[in-house]
Amino acid sequence: MGNFFPRWTNWLPLKLAVGVAFIAFGVSVGVAYYFTPKYTRVGYEPTQPVPFSHKIHAGQLGLDCRYCHSFVENSSHANVPTNQTCFNCHGPGKGNVKSASPKLELVVKAHETKQPIPWVKVHKAPDYVYFNHSAHLNRGISCQSCHGQVNEMEVVKHAEPQSMGWCLDCHRNPEQKLRPLDQITNLNYKPEQLDRAAFYQSLIAKGVKTGEIAETIQEGGKAASIEELVSLASVTFGKQVTQLEVGSQLKKHWQVQPPENCTSCHR
């Protein structure tokens, strides 16, 4: 009786084993890269051509982010400061700060040659991702939410994963990140620092009715004055203002509805 299976099937188990091995190797490499900080660039901390300390400027001196990254509230991109911005404080002249420091040699040279300082980009969204800075800042998302505690960094690093899943987590629960617009660049902001009465007064000043605020604090809640709102919130959230309390109010009254469909970011 002849063989039931053709001769080429003798090599089939070996071929299957080799194929499975290659697939397993590919999956392992993919997981090792795409599911680790290496892919999301977390911890990436390049050496810059000029040793600029955010810890000193944004932390110790309290310099507002928008002094260097101007127009970030009006533009989709956060601009890198021009050399003139550095020269405003550090250029040679009476009263200027450490203008003779050797650390500023490149700044002086850039001013003389009119060539920009070759700063190394830390945060970079893929070409297929659209992100608008102004849309986020003007709706209560702080610099700190995406870039971390920059005011404590000697050298700026990539602090957050900024992956698609990370972005979607925020889009699905924006109340966890929203804050008043006057606190956007306050990198040390804590919701418990807010005065509850002043916060609700600011909403009323923008046309929000006390009844709408009360309903957001507690379903079925009623209040006709600031004092009643504060009392209701104290019962619901406790003595101190909480992130959920602030975020829920801003989400409702600013009508914040972050999109979750693909075309929002992939255009």
For 81-130, write each residue's pLDDT tens digit: 999 899 888 887 756 788 888 999 999 899 899 999 999 999 988 888 99
Cα–chain center distance at 65: 13
Residues of the chain above pLDDT 70, percent = 94
Q: How far, in Å, CA of 215 to CA of 115, rounded? A: 57
Instruction: Read off the tokens for 206.
Output: 């923008």
Among 87, 89, 75, smallest CA distance to 136 is for 75
- The predicted model scores a pTM of 0.83
Whether residue 227 is predicted with pLDDT greater than 90 in this model: the reply is yes
Question: Exposed e or buried b for every residue in 133-164, given b needs 16+ CB within 10 A?
Answer: beebbebbbbbbbbbbebbebeebbbbbebee
Instruction: Read off the tokens for 88.
Output: 């405003």
pLDDT value at residue 2? 60
pLDDT value at residue 95? 65
Whether residue 15 is predicted with pLDDT greater than 70 in this model: the reply is yes
φ/ψ of residue 46, rounded to 5: -70, 155
Helices and strands per DSSP (H, E), number in the chain: 13, 0
pLDDT in tens, 177-200: 999 999 999 999 999 999 999 999
Backbone φ/ψ region at 93: left (φ over 0), alpha (ψ -120 to 50), beta: left
pLDDT value at residue 258? 96
pLDDT value at residue 40? 72
Whether residue 55 is predicted with pLDDT greater than 90 in this model: the reply is yes
Give every CB contact of residue 170 below 8 A, 6+ residues apart in sequence.
141, 145, 176, 177, 258
pLDDT band (50, 70, 90) for residue 146: very high
Whether residue 203 is predicted with pLDDT greater than 90 in this model: the reply is yes
Contact status, residue 184 vs residue 142, Cβ threshold 8 Å: yes
Q: How far, in Å, CA of 35 to CA of 199, rounded? A: 40
pLDDT value at residue 94? 55
Q: How far, in Å, CA of 103 to CA of 14, rounded? A: 63
